[in-house]
Structure 1
Amino acid sequence: MKIHNVLGGILGAALLAHSAVANAETQTMIVAGGCFWCVESDFEAVEGVLKVESGYTGGHTKNPSYRQVSSKTTGHFEAAKITFDDELVSLAELSAYFWKTIDPTDATGQFCDKGSPYYTAMFYQDDVQKAVFEASLADVEHTKPFDEEIVTPLIKASDFYLAEDYHQDYYQKNPIRYRYYRSSCGRDSQIEKLWGDVASSHYH
């Protein structure tokens, strides 16, 4: 009964989100999933996603540099802003996909990257997005194939600062280095251990 209620909530939230942006061509979604190079490559592989930009958000330093964020003193997450066509892919679908690209049980970072810049989070930009994210979190808590607690928070969005140009589409500009980093960091092996055989692991 609870699962049916959760699914009903997801559908209702998705319909509400679609209604709210019926006249818009695109929406944006902001998430943190550890290394933003990996978040970019995962989401740019999804049909309907138009653009993914790496950046910093959630902290207290204005216009931070990568060096500042990496010092773990700014409070910023490495994050990604995902621009998508909501007629091709919904916010609810992208939210469900997000969970299976990360380890949401790790409160210390992601894979080989530890510390505050690599924490996971979903940043809602309005009440509609908050409802969709809450429904998605409730669903994954009921359906996850592991026992560990999900620790990824839902946070109200604040200023998003674009990362330096060399970080944008890093996986395309430096494919060999990117693949080595992703493999040696153990991202895909841990994701498959948690979630099983998922689509994101086959994009790389």
Structure 2
Amino acid sequence: MSEQNEKAYFAGGCFWCMEPPFEALDGVVGATSGYMGGTTENPTYEEVTTGKTGHAEVVEILFDPNVVSYEELLEVFWRNIDPTALNYQFADVGSQYRTEIFTVGDEQKKLAEKSKIELEESGKFDKPIVTAITEAPAFYIAEEYHQDFYKKQSVRYQLYAKASGRKGFLEETWGDS
């Protein structure tokens, strides 16, 4: 990791769907799927999917702030979730699929809170924005088969993304913008 690179953490439902939009950005060095926010150390996917560990599926974004800003990452996050859904995202139901921004330091917290207020005030959504903003706890890397799932299992991923309702919702909400 370069000294200038920073980390950001986003829970946006299924982590398979959150890697691609971030990895498409110039300045993003990588996206790693994992778990945060629970009580079990080193949880497994099987444990997290029960909803009993308290963890959320998360992507860790390693980025170069000289190329892409944290504000740009926040915009990508908001445009890839339903921020009004509490403890689910599209077809995936349970607290492990909640939306949450896990911040590193005061600056990220301030920017995340500002972006949430701006989204609330935009009138884009009729329902309240329920995405939590929390100081980042320990991050646990998910099993290897989850990493870059959209590349390794592209057909399966595309079917899932469409069937989940995510793709349709995002297109309807944001269009091509």
TM-score by length of 2: 0.95
Aligned with 2:120 (options 99, 119, 141):
141
2:170 aligned partner: 191
What SS is found at the alignment partner of 1:197?
A: coil
Match of 2:142 in 1: 163
Partner of 1:117: 96
Does 2:23 align with 1:50? no
Number of matched pairs: 176
Q: 1:103 aligns with which of 71, 74, 82?
A: 82
Asked if structure 2 preserves the Cα contact closer than 8 Å seen for 1:144 and 1:195, the reply is no
Q: Do the aligned residues in 2 keep the contact of 1:103 with 1:194 (CA within 8 Å)?
A: no
Q: Which has the higher helix share?
A: 1
Counterpart position of 1:29: 8
Q: Give how far 1:85 is off.
A: 0.9
State the alpha-carbon separation in 1 of the partners of residues 156 and 43 from structure 2: 25
Q: What amino acid does structure 1 have at the position aligned with 2:17?
A: C
Runs of 5+ consecutive residues of structure 1 not aligned to the other structure: 1-22, 199-204
Residue 83 to residue 144, structure 1, CA distance change in 2 (3 Å)? farther
**Secondary structure at 1:150 match in 2:** coil
For 1:163 and 1:116, the matched residues in 2 are separated by: 17
Query: Counterpart of 1:178 in 2: which secondary structure?
Result: helix
Radius of gyration: which is bigger?
1
TM-score (norm 1): 0.83
Mapping 1:9-88, distance limit 5 Å: 24-88=3-67
Letter in 2 for 1:79: V
CA contact (8 A) 1:27 1:86 kept: yes
Identity among equivalent positions (%) equals: 45
